Chains A and B, each alone.
Chain A
Amino acid sequence: MNKYELTPEGKEYLENSLPEKQLVDLLKEKNSIDFDDAKQIKNFYIALQWALKNKWVRSTGKEIILLNYPEHVPEQEALEKLSKGEDVDENVIEILIQRKLIKKLVYSEADKMVGKEVTTLTPELLKSGLWKQVSFQKYDVNTPVNRIYPGKLHPYRQVMEEIREKLIGMGFVEAKGPLVELNFWNADALFMPSDHPARGVHDIYMIKDPKTGKVVDNDLWKRVEETHKTGWIMGSKGWGNWNFELAQRLVLRSQTTAVSARTLYKLKKENLPHKMFVIDRNFRPDVIDAKHLVEFDQCEGIVVGEGLNFRHLLGYLKEIAETFGAEKVRFKPSYFPFTEPSVEGVALIKGLGWVEFGGAGIFRPEVTLPLGIEVPVLAWGLGIGRLAMIRMGISDIRQLYSEDLRWLREKEVVR
Chain B
Amino acid sequence: MPTITYDKNDLLNLIGNKMSDEQLEETIHLMKTNIESENESEITIELTPDRPDLFGIEGLARAVKQYLGIETGLKKYSIKPASVNIRASDISYRNHIGAAVIRNVNVNDAFIKSLMNIQDVLTDTIGRKRKKVAIGIHDLDKIVPHFSYIEVDKNEKIIPLDQESEMSLSEIIERLPKGKEYGHILSGQEKYPVFTDARGIFSFPPIINSEKTRVTENTKNLLVELTGTDKDAVSQTLNIIVTNFADRGATIEAVKIFRGEKFESTPNLSPSTIDVEFSEIEKWSGVSFHKEDVFELLKRMGYDSVENKGKITIYIPPYRNDILHPIDVIEDIIISYGFNNFTPELPSLATIGSSHPVEKTSSKFRELLVGFGYQEIIRPLMTNPRELFDRMNVKRERIIELENPVSEDYTCLRNWLLPDLMKMMSTNKHVEYPQDIFQVGDVVVHDENEETMSRTVRKAAALIAHSKTNYSEVKATVESLLKQIGMKYTFKDSNLSHMIEGRQAIVLVNNKEIGYIGEINPVVLENYGIEMPCTAFELSLDSI
**Per-position 1/0 for A318-339, Cβ under 8 A of B:** 1100000000011111110000
Say whether B132 contacts A195, CB under 8 Å: yes
Say yes or no: is A216 at the interface (Cβ < 8 Å to chain B).
yes
**Per-position 1/0 for B35-50, Cβ under 8 A of A:** 0000000000000111
Say yes or no: is B263 at the interface (Cβ < 8 Å to chain A).
no
When distances are taken between beta carbons in the complex, the residues of chain A under 8 Å from B455 are 178
Could you say which of B132, B349, B359, B373 contacts A171, with CB atoms under 8 Å apart?
B349
Could you say which of B328, B331, B347, B442 contacts A308, with CB atoms under 8 Å apart?
B347
Q: Which of B208-236 contact A (CB under 8 A)?
A: 230, 232
Nearest CB on A from B438, distance (A): 8
B interface: dominant SS = loop
Say whether B351 contacts A273, CB under 8 Å: yes
Nearest CB on A from B342, distance (A): 5
Could you say which of B31, B49, B232, B436 contacts A151, with CB atoms under 8 Å apart?
B436
Nearest CB on A from B477, distance (A): 12
Say yes or no: is B358 at the interface (Cβ < 8 Å to chain A).
yes
Say whether A207 contacts B424, CB under 8 Å: no
Say yes or no: is B77 at the interface (Cβ < 8 Å to chain A).
no
**Per-position 1/0 for A286-298, Cβ under 8 A of B:** 1110000111000
When distances are taken between beta carbons in the complex, the residues of chain A under 8 Å from B352 are 171, 173
Say yes or no: is A161 at the interface (Cβ < 8 Å to chain B).
yes
Say whether B339 contacts A152, CB under 8 Å: no
Give the distance in Å from the alpha carbon of A342 to the alpha carbon of B328 in the complex: 10
Say whether A310 contacts B325, CB under 8 Å: no
Give the distance in Å from the alpha carbon of A317 to the alpha carbon of B345 in the complex: 10
When distances are taken between beta carbons in the complex, the residues of chain A under 8 Å from B404 are 201-202, 205-206, 285
Say whether B403 contacts A206, CB under 8 Å: yes
When distances are taken between beta carbons in the complex, the residues of chain A under 8 Å from B132 are 195
Give the distance in Å from the alpha carbon of A309 to the alpha carbon of B284 in the complex: 5
What is the chain B residue whose CB lies nearest that of A174?
A: B356
Could you say which of A231, A312, A331, A404 contacts B324, with CB atoms under 8 Å apart?
A231
Say yes or no: is B387 at the interface (Cβ < 8 Å to chain A).
no
Contacts A171-B352, A332-B29, A405-B431 hold; do A197 and B49 have CB atoms under 8 A apart?
Answer: yes
Say yes or no: is B392 at the interface (Cβ < 8 Å to chain A).
no
**Per-position 1/0 for A259-276, Cβ under 8 A of B:** 000000000000001110
Give the distance in Å from the alpha carbon of A90 to the alpha carbon of B509 in the complex: 61
Say whether A252 contacts B356, CB under 8 Å: no
Stretch of A43-51, A60-68, A359-367 with 4 or more beta carbons under 8 angstroms from chain B: A359-367
Say whether A154 contacts B442, CB under 8 Å: no
Give the distance in Å from the alpha carbon of A154 to the alpha carbon of B441 in the complex: 12
When distances are taken between beta carbons in the complex, the residues of chain A under 8 Å from B29 are 332
Say yes or no: is A190 at the interface (Cβ < 8 Å to chain B).
no
Contacts A168-B353, A197-B125, A236-B324 hold; do A403 and B406 have CB atoms under 8 A apart?
Answer: no
Say whether A315 contacts B374, CB under 8 Å: no
Could you say which of A161, A173, A175, A207 contacts B400, with CB atoms under 8 Å apart?
A207
Say yes or no: is B69 at the interface (Cβ < 8 Å to chain A).
no
Contacts A179-B413, A205-B402 hold; do A365 and B49 have CB atoms under 8 A apart?
Answer: no
Name which of A156, A209, A364 has the most chain B CB atoms within 10 A of its CB.
A209
Give the distance in Å from the alpha carbon of A235 to the alpha carbon of B327 in the complex: 10
Which size class do A's interface residues fall under? 35 or more
Q: Which of B341-379 contact A (CB under 8 A)?
A: 342-347, 349-356, 358-359, 363, 366, 369-379
Contacts A275-B349, A332-B29 hold; do A408 and B402 have CB atoms under 8 A apart?
Answer: no
Contacts A195-B132, A334-B32 hold; do A286 and B342 have CB atoms under 8 A apart?
Answer: no
Say whether B400 contacts A169, CB under 8 Å: no
What is the chain A residue whose CB lies nearest that of B337?
A: A310
Q: Which of A197-250 contact B (CB under 8 A)?
A: 197, 201-202, 205-214, 216, 231, 234-238, 240, 250
Say yes or no: is B456 at the interface (Cβ < 8 Å to chain A).
yes
Say yes or no: is A311 at the interface (Cβ < 8 Å to chain B).
yes
Contacts A197-B125, A365-B327 hold; do A331 and B340 have CB atoms under 8 A apart?
Answer: yes
**Per-position 1/0 for A128-160, Cβ under 8 A of B:** 000000000000000000010111111011000
What is the chain A residue whose CB lies nearest that of B370?
A: A151
When distances are taken between beta carbons in the complex, the residues of chain A under 8 Å from B476 are none
Say whether B325 contacts A154, CB under 8 Å: no
Say yes or no: is A30 at the interface (Cβ < 8 Å to chain B).
no
Say yes or no: is B428 at the interface (Cβ < 8 Å to chain A).
yes
Say whether B453 contacts A210, CB under 8 Å: yes
Contacts A154-B377, A179-B381, A305-B347 hold; do A216 and B342 have CB atoms under 8 A apart?
Answer: no
Say whether B349 contacts A305, CB under 8 Å: yes
When distances are taken between beta carbons in the complex, the residues of chain A under 8 Å from B350 are 171, 273
Say whether B431 contacts A273, CB under 8 Å: no
Say whether B444 contacts A319, CB under 8 Å: no
Beyond A179-B456, A341-B330, list 17 extra A-B contacts (CB 8 Å).
A147-B432, A153-B370, A154-B377, A171-B353, A176-B456, A179-B442, A180-B453, A197-B125, A205-B402, A208-B403, A236-B324, A250-B453, A285-B406, A286-B406, A311-B286, A332-B29, A340-B325
Between A and B, 24 residue pairs with Cβ closer than 8 Å are A149-B432, A154-B377, A157-B366, A161-B363, A168-B355, A176-B359, A182-B451, A197-B125, A207-B401, A235-B325, A236-B324, A275-B349, A288-B407, A311-B285, A311-B344, A312-B286, A314-B345, A318-B344, A329-B344, A331-B342, A332-B29, A335-B32, A340-B327, A405-B424
